[in-house]
Amino acid sequence: MRRVCNRAITKMDIKNNSKMSQAKKNRPKNLNLFTIRMPINALVSILHRVTGCALFLALPLLLLTFQMSVSSAEHFLTVKELLNSPFSKLMLLGLAWAFFHHFFAGIRHLAMDVHWATTLIKARYTSKMVFVLGGIATLLLAVSWVL
């Protein structure tokens, strides 16, 4: 008797499960980033990820540059010349911004982890600060090259 009962339940379960998975499949997905309005906090957050990935991808270039710069005096000069071209300066500025954004957004994360500035108003304010500080730091670097 018990066996039969168990079997019946199992069959029902399977039926329900397949219904549920069907329902899951039919759920609307809205992951198109261009249709989502991003509040400034979300923007800081996603850029923290994007810049992190960019910095990770830039690691081999960083290592290669360091290797060349310490290998010999000629190579050091080559690196200096290479880094002086407008194109590489633009690349470097982009990377510098990525670093500064990741840096300041990371500090913001640390602050929030110790429960500092966790209200929405304060979080929005610190988000703006991340953008402002990242921009200023990058701008200072750009200015220092021109001078």
Partner 1 sequence: MLLSLLTKRYPGMRAWLTQRLTGLLMAIYSVILLVLVLVYTPSTYADWLKFSQPLWWRFATWLFWICLSIHAWLGVRDVLKDYVPHEQIRMVLLKLVVIVLWLYMIWITVLLWNL
Q: Examine residue 145 and tell whether it contacts partner 1 (CB under 8 A).
A: no
Q: Is 103 in the site for partner 1 (CB under 8 A)?
A: yes
CA distances from 77 to 68, 74, 82, 99, 130 (A): 9, 5, 8, 25, 35
Which region holds residue 36: left if phi is over 0, alpha if psi is between -120 and 50, else beta? beta
Binder among 54, 92, 93, 107 for partner 1 (CB under 8 A): 107
Q: CB nearer to partner 1: give 19 or 49.
A: 49
In the complex, what is the shortest distance from the CB of residue 89 to partner 1, in angstroms, rounded to a whole number?
16
Of residues 22, 35, 60, 115, which one binds partner 1 by CB under 8 A?
60
Interaction of residue 125 with partner 1, rule CB under 8 A: no
The rounded Cα 92 to chain-centroid distance in angstroms is 18
Shortest reach from residue 63's CB to partner 1, in Å? 5
User: How distant, in Å, are the alpha carbons of 37, 58, 62, 82, 123 from that of 92?
Assistant: 30, 10, 11, 11, 29
Max CA distance (Å), the chain: 90
- Residue 70 interacting with partner 1 (CB under 8 A): yes
Contact residues for partner 1, defined by CB under 8 A: 49, 52-53, 55-56, 59-60, 63, 66-67, 69-70, 72-73, 76-77, 99, 103, 106-107, 109-110, 113
